[in-house]
Amino acid sequence: MQRFPCPFCGLRDETEFFYAGDLGKVRPDTTQPVSDEEWSAYLNDYANVKGRAKEVWVHTACQEYLALERDTVTMDVLSVTQFRKGEI
Amino acid sequence: MSGYRIETAGRVNRAAPLTFTFDGVGYSGFEGDTLVSALLANGVDVLGRSFKYHRPRGAWGAWFDDPNAVFSVRLNGVEMPNMIGATTPLEDGMELRAVNAFPTAKSDIKGALDLFNRFLGAGFYYKTFMWPDWHLFEHPIRKMAGLGALDGKVIEDFESDQIHDRCDLLVVGGGVSGLTAARTAAEAGQNVVLVDDHAELGGTAFQRQLIDGVAAADWVGQQVAAITAAGGRMMANATAFGVFDHKLVGIVQNKGFGRAPDLTRMRAKRMVIASGVIDRPLTFGNNDRPGVMSLNGAAELVARYGVVAGKKIAILSSHSEVDHYASVLRDAGGDVEVIEARSTNIQALGKKRVNGLKLDGRRVACDTILTSAGLAPVLHLWRHAGGKLDWSETANAFLPAAGPDWISVTGSANGIFGVEAKLADVRAVVLGSDRQARTASYKATPVTPDPDSKLRQWVDFQHDVTVKDIALAKRENYVSVEHLKRYTTLGMANDQGKTSNVPALSLMAKLQNKPVPEVGTTTFRPPFVPVPLEIYRGAHRQQQFHPVKRLSLEAQHRAAGAALGEYGGWLRPAWYGDKEADTVKVEAKRARETAGFFDASPLGKIEVMGPDAEAFMNFIYYNNMATLKPGFIRYGFVLTERGAVFDDGVVARFDQNRYVISCSSSHVEGMSGLLEAWRQDGNDPDRVFVHDTTHHWSTVTVTGPKARDIVGAVVSGIDLSAEAFPHMQFRLGQMNGIEVRVARVSFTGDLSFEISIETGKVAELWQAVSDAAKAHGAGPMGMEALAILRAEKGYIVVGKDTDGETMPHDLGFGAPRLKKKAAFVGDRSLHTENANREDRKLLTGLAVSAGETPLPEGAHIVSRQNGKMKSHGFVTSSYDSPNTGAPIAMALVDATLVKDGAKVEIFHLGASRHATIASPVFYDQQGDRLNA
């Protein structure tokens, strides 16, 4: 059982968290034409990094989103920051 | 009859004799015995049968490394199948039966299977039962497979406690090294927990006369007292069975027969593994016969239980610690001959008990053969944690190499033998000083079996994997250890290959002319010993696992005779009265004729507020929410980014910057999660806020032609007339001076008012509505009647009448897809090739004639071509409608088949019938009643 540090609630069990995607993924502007490929990449492609991964998680207990940097090999948590538009 | 008990050794309590039976025969033992030690003390030879060939088996080991002795045990009316005999403590009155044997282990009728061994090699099932179809053979084979059988009874109070704990240092193993580690750390002020799987700490210490100049038992007692005095904790009967992410160690602690063990989730800052060694079996002819035992196990039998394995003992060993073990047996009065094992051209003689040994043509008389081809460190936990292994040529074993820095392996598990060397290493580990390099005082000579030998040589005792099977796997190119394991089932029994894995991969290395490390090991996975699933369940049972949400009005519903059922996670009235069918019909009919009222409190009430609320809502919703005017309500869909309908419901706009979302009762958490996700990812979370007030407001809905009269008697301050208060608007009013929100929305197709009030006051509202309803001949209605009313109008329930592929244009709501300019969740997915398919499944009604039974939900709409049936959709909702006088149904059906009046074939569980495609609106198609 991993433990992740929620910036608001402290160290909590991973069962309280939910993965919410790769960090830095931007939704295409759908008021402009978006190709099938671009949309499919947005929906389906994940970096699936071996090693240092940057991800978005949500702490379901407080509903706050966080940017989590972790090592997918050693399972070490490298950093966690509050998730805010424009800040990451 | 070879094993016997002596008076001069052992830790059993001779003042507490116990009686028990095995396969119907009575025996006696002592408190402190295990099932295996007690049976061996009584001279019992055959303790069980092997899995495949039903060969007679004795005990191989005296502790967790024994793969043979598995029993079904009954005590005080409780039966537990598959108890591991070597580690289960004996209790008075136990009745043991061998598993996989009938009628007894000694004379098992399936023992004849062994005669066919030539035909039953590895992969036998895969090769033999393929033609014409495996399923023809599956049932009888599955019946033959497996060990003990469940008796089907529930054991009362079989409930595990789950304990969360933490410590500075976790010590695994209570032997000489473990006790020293715990004492040293505890005396240095650390929070220490020591875990050991025996009832009495000490590990293999009792095999020695003196430790550190003190009698062994006294030394152990001194350490335990010192650890306690220094504040250290010790857990006996407890096994650290797995290491998990972020330094979590799972510990299972046994509580005695028939009681659920406890689970401790230990977060340790550091861990010292001092889990000792087990014997690697020597592989030779008929090495599975009763009487062939682990050397270390036989020494433990003497030291812990005062049991000598046999009267005439031959020791076959190839390592340098053999003298120690031989002396333990000689000191116990054993007649011992030590033979150095150089070749494996050895054969055990005898069938149900060894009666001799053939060695290079020479015959040795003996009734017991104790073997060890080397001492194998127990490194499972080290591997769980990601520690590496090195193959040691001198030790002929895997030893710990680089690994996680929070774990240290010490003692014999680290290849250190001899008390002084152990104590020095342990203190260095605990106090952080430099460790001495391992001395090479211990040596084991490899003795690899001859794959061409005609003798049957066992590698995995429980699953009957022999040298021949491994050679066959190699010939058929199952050379990877992971393939070898799955092809031969090697190491897949309850002992998980503790004794068999290293011999097997050494043999595979020899067959491939490779060094052992190149062949590698299979993955070590928790649990180290079998654990009951109960430990993972713990308190997560029934209401604690899945608590239902309860209504404030539950007492009122019960008083009104409600039958309660779970709807979307809430315990809600299904109907009011005794008999389901009649009551539901009465309620559904009454609601159309006069009025009905129901508790709609679970309806979502999520507030979305802030200066960006309008843009945010317009982005979240498929429908345009920017043009919604304050005081008005709009029905809409929320989609996933893949375009599938996620939820439907109405949205009320309170003012420019404030909306209230009334989502489906069962989707409130999902909706508020979705809203939060978009609020924080892609929007400025300081300019829009989401707040779920579902539990703050309770709602009573009144529906039917008399609804206006009833609500008018309850609520004041609102002009309820159709002109002043049209459909899809809301007003604020009062009831006895308390603020209420009244919304004109309808899930029944009739004139309806939803009255919401702060939850603490809802009992007053319910009472007032009940009283007013009585005057009009109206009454309460449950969820089942509501389900019929909404289906009569073709109103969907998301998740019931839609699935993960349903898009809004499949439900007849195609306009925003084509017209909405602003971006919204899922927009681009509504214009893919898939979204434009002409055979998408559309929501449609299915009509059948009055008098027919309703169509079964889940039934398929099918076509037939060339005798083959093809599904084109399925029935999603189906009811007997009292208001239309005929059964009604909704279905998702291939658009090419959806033509009003078309006949379609409905197939369900082998039976066919027909229905007619119709509009899903079966009642009041013009909507006059809705706008009344």
Q: Chain A: nearest CA to B754, how far in angstroms? A: 30
Contact call for residues B178 and B272 (beta carbons, < 8 A): yes
Q: How far is CA B712 from the centre of its chain?
A: 55
- In sequence order, what are the residues at sequence separation of 6 or more whose Cβ sits closer than 8 angstroms to the Cβ of residue B415? B377, B392, B395, B397, B399, B438, B442
| CB-nearest partner of A39 from B386, B676, B828 | B828
Instruction: Indicate if B232 and B293 belong to the same structural domain.
Output: no
Please, which residues 255-294 of chain B have a Cβ atom closer than 8 Å to chain A? 265
Contact call for residues B669 and B571 (beta carbons, < 8 A): no
Instruction: Indicate if B743 and B856 belong to the same structural domain.
Output: no
Contact call for residues B629 and B740 (beta carbons, < 8 A): no
Domain-embedded: residue B853: yes
Q: Which of B724, B757, B790 is the last residue of a domain?
A: B790
Tell me whether residues A20 and B642 touch, CB distance under 8 A. Answer: no
Residue type, B485: K
Long-range (24+ apart) CB contacts under 8 A made by B102-109 are B103/B23, B104/B23, B104/B24, B105/B23, B105/B46, B105/B47, B105/B48, B105/B49, B105/B56, B105/B57, B106/B23, B106/B45, B106/B46, B106/B56, B106/B352, B108/B49, B108/B54, B108/B56
Q: CB-based burial of residue B483 (10 Å sphere; 0-12 exposed, 13-18 middle, 19+ buried)?
A: middle
Which chain B positions have a beta carbon within 8 Å of A59's beta carbon? none
Which chain A positions have a beta carbon within 8 Å of B245's beta carbon? 1-2, 14, 75
Q: Is B219 helix (H, G, I), strand (E, B) or coil?
A: helix
How far, in Å, CA of B724 to CA of B790, rounded? 26
Tell me whether residues A1 and B685 touch, CB distance under 8 A. Answer: no
Asked whether the bond before B685 is cis by omega within 30 degrees of 0, the reply is: no
CB contacts < 8 Å between A and B, how many? 57
SS (H, E, C) B328-350: HHHHCCCEEEEEECCCCCEEEEC
Instruction: Indicate if B598 and B621 belong to the same structural domain.
Output: no
Residue type, A19: Y
Instruction: Indicate if B454 and B414 belong to the same structural domain.
Output: no
Cα dihedral sign for B112, B113, B114, B118?
positive
Q: How far is CA B54 from the centre of its chain?
A: 31
Domain-embedded: residue B631: yes
Tell me whether residues A30 and B823 touch, CB distance under 8 A. Answer: yes
CB atoms within 10 A of CB B437: 6
Which pLDDT band, with edges at 50, 70 and 90, does A87 fall under? low
Which chain A positions have a beta carbon within 8 Å of B246's beta carbon? 1-3, 75
Domain-embedded: residue B525: no
Bridge partners for B756 per DSSP: B699, B741
Residue B732, both tokens: 């604020």
Which chain A positions have a beta carbon within 8 Å of B823's beta carbon? 29-31
Domain-embedded: residue B865: yes
Domain-embedded: residue B875: yes
Contact call for residues B338 and B317 (beta carbons, < 8 A): yes
Chain A residue nearest residue B682, CA to CA: A85
Contact call for residues B718 and B731 (beta carbons, < 8 A): yes
Q: Is A33 helix (H, G, I), strand (E, B) or coil?
A: coil
Q: Which of B692, B719, B743 is the last residue of a domain?
A: B692
**Which domain CATH number covers B782?**
3.30.1360.120
**Which domain CATH number covers B615?**
3.30.70.1400
Chain A residue nearest residue B386, CA to CA: A74
Residue B174, both tokens: 């209570």
**Which domain CATH number covers B498?**
1.10.10.1100
Tell me the domains of chain A and their CATH numbers.
3-26+41-82 (3.30.2270.10)
| CB-nearest partner of A65 from B681, B821, B822 | B681
Tell me whether residues A31 and B244 touch, CB distance under 8 A. Answer: no
Residue with tokens 């190149």: B518
Which chain A positions have a beta carbon within 8 Å of B386's beta carbon? 74
| CB-nearest partner of B681 from A28, A42, A56 | A56
Kindly compute the dihedral angle of the four CA atoms of residues B35, B30, B295, B500, in this order, to the nearest 10 degrees: 20
Q: Chain B: nearest CA to A2, how far in angstroms? A: 5
Chain A residue nearest residue B827, CA to CA: A30
pLDDT at site A2: 95
CB atoms within 10 A of CB A51: 9
- Structural domains counted in chain B: 6
Tell me whether residues B829 and A34 touch, CB distance under 8 A. Answer: no
Chain B residue nearest residue A22, CA to CA: B681
Instruction: Indicate if B452 and B511 belong to the same structural domain.
Output: yes
**Which domain CATH number covers B30?**
3.10.20.440
ipTM: 0.96
Per-10-residue mean pLDDT of chain B, 932 residues long, equals 90 97 97 98 94 91 95 94 95 94 84 76 72 77 76 88 97 98 97 98 96 95 98 98 96 96 97 97 95 97 97 95 96 94 88 92 94 96 95 93 96 93 94 84 88 91 92 92 90 88 91 90 91 92 90 97 95 90 92 97 97 98 97 98 97 97 94 95 92 97 97 97 96 96 97 97 97 96 97 96 97 96 97 96 96 96 94 97 96 96 96 96 93 85
B684 touches chain A (CB under 8 A): yes
Q: What is the pTM of this model?
A: 0.90
Instruction: Indicate if B642 and B686 belong to the same structural domain.
Output: yes
pLDDT at site B152: 86
How far, in Å, CA of A87 to CA of B424, rounded? 54
How far, in Å, CA of B553 to CA of B851, rounded? 38
- In sequence order, what are the residues at sequence separation of 6 or more whose Cβ sits closer than 8 angstroms to the Cβ of residue B899? B917
Tell me whether residues A83 and B680 touch, CB distance under 8 A. Answer: yes
Instruction: Indicate if B631 and B688 belong to the same structural domain.
Output: yes
pLDDT at site B908: 97
Chain B residue nearest residue A83, CA to CA: B680
- The number of C-alpha atoms within 13 Å of B558 and in the hemisphere containing its C-beta is 7
- In sequence order, what are the residues at sequence separation of 6 or more whose Cβ sits closer than 8 angstroms to the Cβ of residue B540? none
Bridge partners for A26 per DSSP: none
**Which domain CATH number covers B264?**
3.50.50.60
Tell me the angle at which helices B322-331 and B295-305 cross, rounded to the nearest 10 degrees: 40
Tell me whether residues B680 and A65 touch, CB distance under 8 A. Answer: yes
- Residue of A43, A78, A88 to mutate for B, most B C-beta atoms under 10 A: A43
Instruction: Indicate if B489 and B456 belong to the same structural domain.
Output: yes
Residue with tokens 């008021």: A31
Please, which residues 544-573 of chain B have a Cβ atom closer than 8 Å to chain A? none
| CB-nearest partner of B246 from A3, A27, A43 | A3
Query: B853 lies in which domain range?
Result: 837-918
- Residue of B243, B249, B681 to mutate for A, most A C-beta atoms under 10 A: B681
B656: phi > 0 → left, psi -120 to 50 → alpha, else beta; which? alpha
- In sequence order, what are the residues at sequence separation of 6 or more whose Cβ sits closer than 8 angstroms to the Cβ of residue B669? none
Tell me whether residues B829 and A20 touch, CB distance under 8 A. Answer: no
Domain-embedded: residue B539: no
- In sequence order, what are the residues at sequence separation of 6 or more whose Cβ sits closer than 8 angstroms to the Cβ of residue B623? B634, B635, B636, B637, B813, B816, B820
Which chain A positions have a beta carbon within 8 Å of B683's beta carbon? 85
Domain-embedded: residue B551: no
Residue type, B697: W
Contact call for residues B765 and B714 (beta carbons, < 8 A): yes
Residue B383, both tokens: 């591997």
Instruction: Indicate if B271 and B168 belong to the same structural domain.
Output: yes
Residue B1, both tokens: 């009859």
Instruction: Indicate if B712 and B765 belong to the same structural domain.
Output: yes
B682 touches chain A (CB under 8 A): yes
Tell me whether residues A39 and B822 touch, CB distance under 8 A. Answer: no
Chain B residue nearest residue A38, CA to CA: B828
- The number of C-alpha atoms within 13 Å of B805 and in the hemisphere containing its C-beta is 14
B295-B298-B304 Cα angle (round to 5): 135
CB atoms within 10 A of CB B430: 25
Tell me whether residues B244 and A1 touch, CB distance under 8 A. Answer: yes
Chain A residue nearest residue B642, CA to CA: A43
B248 touches chain A (CB under 8 A): yes
Tell me whether residues A31 and B822 touch, CB distance under 8 A. Answer: yes
Domain-embedded: residue B41: yes
Instruction: Indicate if B685 and B701 belong to the same structural domain.
Output: no
Tell me the angle at which helices B501-511 and B467-475 cross, rounded to the nearest 10 degrees: 50
Contact call for residues B310 and B44 (beta carbons, < 8 A): no
Which chain B positions have a beta carbon within 8 Å of A14's beta carbon? 245
B405 touches chain A (CB under 8 A): no
Instruction: Indicate if B637 and B490 belong to the same structural domain.
Output: no
Q: Chain B: nearest CA to A14, how far in angstroms? A: 10
| CB-nearest partner of A20 from B386, B677, B829 | B677
Q: Which of B372, B388, B404 is the last residue of a domain?
A: B372
How far, in Å, CA of B185 to CA of B426, rounded? 10
Chain B residue nearest residue A40, CA to CA: B829
B680 touches chain A (CB under 8 A): yes
